[in-house]
Chains A and B, each alone.
Chain A
Amino acid sequence: MKREFLSGNRAVAEAALLSGLRFYAGYPITPASDLMEYLAERLPKVGGIAVQFEDEIASINAAIGASWAGAKAMTATSGPGFSLMAEGISLAVATETPLVVVDIMRAGPSTGIPTKTTQSDVYQARWLAHGDYILPVFAPWSAQDSYDLTIKAFNVSEKLRTPVILLSDAVIAHMWETLYTREPGEVEIVSRKKPVEPPEEYKPYKAGEDLVPPMAVFGEGYKVIVESLVHDEAGYYRQDTRTYREMVTRLREKIMRNIGVVYEHEEYWLEDAKIIIVSYGSTARMAYPVAKSLLSRGLRVGFLRLKTLWPLDEGKLSSALSKADKIIVVENNTGRIYYDIARIAGRDRARFSPILTVDPPGFNEVLEAVSRWL
């Protein structure tokens, strides 16, 4: 372990390198450009490649290709570029391609305000692409969390053969902070499972008990099919309900069966809390001290920070929130996680405190937004 002073974006890059990143593809966009700039220097030094492509469509498809060639791959962008990656993400889901996509949120819609943040891409991260699928979304609130959740994003993507979204934002990305980085061997690094059977017996989409098919890559003597159409275990296109149902169900179940690995939240002072403040990402940075301050004033306030924004472990969340009379969701948008909490905890207990700001919210701003429900 080593103490460092890094920005959120550099923390993502360093964690990606530790996780085994060997191919980065991207197109510059504020506030994600410096991540690519940093990797353009760092990746070649560990035998990897960082390429600037002509746009985000090419970038994500190149990253998918690299993953199928056996390299751990990543791309990073912001809202407008993320929109262009929709088709690629769908392709990665259907072909079960391990891949990390970093979305550094900025204010939107459209080109919005490039240098300022909001938290308006939460649903975009979950459901950007077409089709019936589920993919993990992680949201860091510090440079340390950017580092740790990037390692987790790679591990989950490799373990479950799925694209994973790291949903950071402009504040976290450009905040410089103290963090602990790891040396190789100090943290578990997961790599995709490879086939053990001989090539003639291998079926590229045949899964075992864990519902995750072993992944042969190009050049290892196995027959590899990167099939975007609905396919059977052999990777052949099928148009029947049974194959479709099996494929879509397995794609979902391989994630949900591992919800205990994928889902994470942090709890503070929940034991006796009658009011729980729920937040995530950069907004949580101010919701946390507001909760702490209210607690010190004698109010029975707790704080819950979501690290995983999708899928949610509804049982775990429901249990954590069960004793509270009110659950106040603080987020920098017009309502995203609030609707999940209202569904899970009930509309009668859920309250919404939107912080619509393009600058990091101040203590008093969050306190005022929360106070209306106290």
Chain B
Amino acid sequence: MTPVRREILIVGRGGQGVLLLGRLLGLVASRYLNLYTSASEHYTSETRGGESRVDMVIADKPEEVYDFAGVSKPYLMIILYPYNIGEYLKLAREDTYLFIDKTFYQGEVSTPARVYALEYTRLAEKILNDTRVANILLLGHVLKVTGIMPLEYVKAGIAELLNPRYHELNFRALEAGFNLPG
């Protein structure tokens, strides 16, 4: 990853693995890319279903993350579920990579951003027979399109974060996403 300051917004529904994506990206950036990360997590009191969000910044110097109070100029936006999508889309700019799970949103995406809208959850069900890894499948696609992090580092991050019995499934999901057209 080029050493610059990059803001990442991940939005979804409780249970889709929004916070997991944030922790995975933060871990890989911190440990494997030697970058500095600051992230805040937002979620509701429901175990499943409420809006979950991660605001994150990744930079090459620690002082570059001190002033982070939330995403305002996103480099990457991941919308797993369209909560407040109208508001979040307002943040997107021409150089924003925007990934949307079309399984839950068929509406129009009016934005200057570079949009990648696929039915990630349906794909996860079709390819892996498990919708729980839709987040990781989408992340694989993000890696392919943006090159933000090497695939192998993310695999190492998955191996660190998750219970070993889920490693294989998540590796396959990541690769399935990475093999989607860029």
Contact = CB atoms under 8 A, between A and B. Distances in A.
Contacts of B41: 174, 176
A5 B30 contact: yes
A360 interface: yes
Main DSSP-derived SS at the B contact region: mixed
Interface string A185-202: 000000000000000000
Interface string B53-67: 000000000110111
Nearest to A2: B31
A178 B67 contact: no
Contacts of A179: 30
A5 B69 CA distance: 18
A172 B173 CA distance: 33
A373 interface: no
A142 B35 CA distance: 16
A361 interface: yes
Contact of B66 (A5, A174, A176, A288): A288
Interface string B13-33: 000000000110011011100
A363 interface: yes
Given A3-B34, A175-B40, A177-B37, A289 B66 contact: yes
Contacts of A285: 66-67, 69
Contacts of A175: 38-40
Secondary structure of the A side of the interface?
A: mixed
A293 B97 CA distance: 28
B36 interface: yes
Given A176-B39, A177-B38, A178-B37, A363 B31 contact: no
A175 B40 CA distance: 5
A178 B23 contact: no
Interface in A341-374: 360-363
Contact of B30 (A4, A142, A171): A4
Contacts of A362: 69-70
Given A5-B37, A174-B40, A178-B37, A286 B30 contact: no
B104 to A, nearest CB: 26
B22 A176 contact: yes
A292 B39 CA distance: 21
Interface size class of A (residues with CB under 8 A): 20 to 34
Contacts of A361: 69
Interface string A276-302: 000000000110110010000000000
A363 B37 CA distance: 19
Contacts of B22: 176
Contacts of B66: 142, 285, 288-289
A289 B30 contact: no
A285 B66 CA distance: 5
A362 B70 CA distance: 9
Given A4-B30, A5-B30, A177 B65 contact: yes
Interface in A177-232: 177-179
B67 A286 contact: yes
A3 B157 CA distance: 13
Contact of A5 (B26, B62, B67): B26
Interface in A246-286: 285-286
A177 B31 contact: no
Contacts of B31: 3-5
Interface in B39-81: 39-41, 62-63, 65-67, 69-70
B40 A178 contact: no
A292 B66 CA distance: 11
Contact of B38 (A3, A4, A176, A286): A176
Given A5-B23, A5-B37, A178 B30 contact: yes
A363 B70 CA distance: 11
B37 A176 contact: yes
A5 B19 CA distance: 13
A174 B43 CA distance: 12
A292 B35 CA distance: 21
Nearest to B64: A289
B182 to A, nearest CB: 27
7 contacts: A5-B26, A144-B62, A171-B40, A176-B26, A178-B37, A286-B69, A288-B67
Interface of B: 22-23, 26-27, 29-31, 34-41, 62-63, 65-67, 69-70
The 9 closest A-B pairs by CB, nearest first: A289-B67, A178-B30, A5-B30, A5-B26, A176-B39, A5-B27, A178-B36, A178-B37, A3-B31
Given A142-B38, A361-B69, 10 more contacts: A3-B31, A5-B37, A174-B41, A175-B38, A176-B38, A176-B39, A176-B41, A178-B65, A288-B67, A363-B69
